Structure 1
């Protein structure tokens, strides 16, 4: 009787109880799904912003390393006014390299026929027709050690065909296909010397080096604290032979030899468009760096790249300009030869060239202000590379466009789709350490 009583009193859940349990379970499951979704979204955002921050910091640090070195030459890099007590407001006297007529630049530096000279009898400082055929060398204008390009709406100013453009590689054309260059982004080329080998003895055109040189071919830059001469050369062990007559060098002035192909560094920065490695059907924009023709992708997610230049005018004023504005300045200095500045906007007095008969100087033609760049103001707009934001209209501020927050349109200035990404600006003012420009 006892066992039968217990069996008859066992009961299950009622329908109402089951429905209540199901509702409670669904509420808990919905909460867990919402929590997981929120956590996943937050994780994507944090990961994207962390990548953005790291990419921005690395890009700025890499740009600073090159821009600080722009124009670095040998020995005396800090120049003084050409007449210290009377013409301080005329700026700085610059030194120009001497280049043998037998040197053929392959990196975009100008050839003999592209050098602009001015006769001292004509004080306007603008380019004149000067016959230098009787001389075995010509001056290399120091303005070619910094060159910038303001690019927008499919073209650049100055044009990429002007002398001084980096020719060690082919700069991609603007477009939205793989291996193209992003529109509305600048290009910057800087040049500087690094390395070098100390000269211990000079006998005619033969130089003895302090150490064994790693180079076997290439033109040479021979320089002391007063003269820099570019010449074809033969390299062998610790000896370098110039195939053209050398000007006089002073071993007490720390004479050194540099390999033109390897130790004159040509660096160009630009923003390129390429396939996303994780999704070949998607395009992304990245900051690229070319060094002597070797192109390397630095960081992904760079949408905008704008550079402003702090340049010294003939009056000593330092002004902030875009690349096309720097290129447009010409003339200036003491136009009428009376020792006084004649106008505000103009280039500083160019150096005279003593080995071309002593009656010519470098001209202040278009682009002469590239000799006088004090600092470079860099702006980068980076995104999170992958979709990290909750919508496509996440606001951002990019100061070259103004300080008002803006939202991305369906297409970016580069022409690529905006997508759902966070964006941040990174900026730096980089002083040019070697003020020989």
Structure 2
């Protein structure tokens, strides 16, 4: 018997070599596209993150600087006080009395006041001459001395070796740790300026004065220590004191304050603020190499705090009024260099623009003015012009020559790969300038 098989043999089909090669090419193209897309997204995200940090740091730095500068020179009651004699004698602040400081006050004992002049450093100008420069030290018999308002705002123009005026000069913030100039960790960045402002905050209302004791209704903060400032709208005295819950006992007999109006007592340790800004250099703690990050620092009564990272430049200009009323834009060293003024040739006219406005005579120092020695123009600062150059802190660009404009140097784009003025490496970062003009609210001549 014959058996016929209907079984069929299945034919095996596959890709040809050409088909495989085409598929591989298409796969590689898709893969390269995905890699390129991922790379571009990563680069874009890095750039956006860096620029976001840069923008926020710049905004915050300007706002903190603006807040402190606007308060510079803030004193008790008012910045301009009416005279006690005749209202018609009021001359736009010229009659405002300076603070008086008892001769036994030692400003160096407090971080808040370290840098203010001592009794031995005070000089006055006799009205008998016309040069407006200091003539003599205070006589030993005086129990107090006037504090020049020029010490409430100071600046320092710095290069890569030093600052002018020096950071150790009278009026500088000598409690702040300004560091040594350099680009290593713990240094202060070269070619960046320093600005210092002083102002008064807080205070406790005084309800009675008897001899050398000032009493208050409200409880005095337990943190109040050191020298006391007692002031009304016309007279202010800084004197050593001891503090209690509702009384301050001074080492000097207090003058006749107008307790019924607005008299208050302040701790020169707590309520008096000395604020300084500078740019320091810090180690990049995230990376293990020697990379450093420049940061803006704020020192308050000797306590230093980092404000923002990535600040490569900090330049300050001052809008100052000269003796003829002309307002000029100066750097700190230029402000410090101005002195004298008046009519030296006795022709009945001020000799020229360059010079300080003649201060009023000092009520308790008959025959004397505050002198117009170098630095007198710090009394006449109308506004402060700020410039900061910030970077993205970390690498955010694919290029090390991403150009930037810093108008203090020039109005055209600069190539960071040509070398940064401060000596820091360019790296792969974006850079932007931030600027502001801040008026001095408490302007007093």
Calculate the TM-score normalised by the size of structure 2. 0.92
Q: Secondary structure at the match of 2:45?
A: helix
Give structure 1 stretches of 5+ with no counterpart. none
Q: Secondary structure at the match of 2:233?
A: coil
How far does residue 76 in structure 1 lie from its aligned partner after superposition? 2.3
Q: Give 1:5-154 correspondences, 5 Å limit.
A: 5=9, 7=10, 9-78=11-80, 92-106=94-108, 107-154=114-161
Indicate whether 1:251 and 2:262 are aligned. no
Indicate whether 1:287 and 2:291 are aligned. no
State the alpha-carbon separation in 2 of the partners of residues 19 and 64 from structure 1. Answer: 67
Q: Is the 8 A contact 2:81 2:234 kept in 1?
A: no
Larger Rg: 2
Aligned residues: 433
Change (3 A) 1:403 1:85: farther
How far does residue 399 in structure 1 lie from its aligned partner after superposition? 1.0
Partner of 1:305: 314
Q: Secondary structure at the match of 1:426?
A: strand
Q: Is the 8 A contact 1:91 1:314 kept in 2?
A: no
Q: Give 1:155-170 correspondences, 5 Å limit.
A: 155-170=162-177
State the alpha-carbon separation in 2 of the partners of residues 102 and 328 from structure 1. Answer: 31
What CA deviation, in whole Å up to 9, does each residue of 1:142-172 have, x standing for no partner?
1000000010122111111210110123211
Q: Is the 8 A contact 2:296 2:306 kept in 1?
A: yes
State the alpha-carbon separation in 2 of the partners of residues 84 and 251 from structure 1. Answer: 21
State the alpha-carbon separation in 2 of the partners of residues 339 and 191 from structure 1. Answer: 37
Indicate whether 1:423 and 2:423 are aligned. no
Partner of 1:351: 360
Change (3 A) 1:158 1:252: same
Q: Secondary structure at the match of 1:359?
A: strand
How far does residue 436 in structure 1 lie from its aligned partner after superposition? 2.5
How far does residue 280 in structure 1 lie from its aligned partner after superposition? 4.5
State the alpha-carbon separation in 2 of the partners of residues 362 and 75 from structure 1. Answer: 22
State the alpha-carbon separation in 1 of the partners of residues 184 and 19 from structure 2. Answer: 62
Calculate the TM-score normalised by the size of structure 1. 0.94
Q: Give 1:198-209 correspondences, 5 Å limit.
A: 198-209=205-216
How far does residue 316 in structure 1 lie from its aligned partner after superposition? 1.2
Given the alignment, which residue of 324, 332, 346 partners 2:333? 324
State the alpha-carbon separation in 2 of the partners of residues 404 and 267 from structure 1. Answer: 34
What CA deviation, in whole Å up to 9, does each residue of 1:68-115 have, x standing for no partner?
00010111213689x999998x98455321111111112211111222
State the alpha-carbon separation in 2 of the partners of residues 98 and 87 from structure 1. Answer: 20
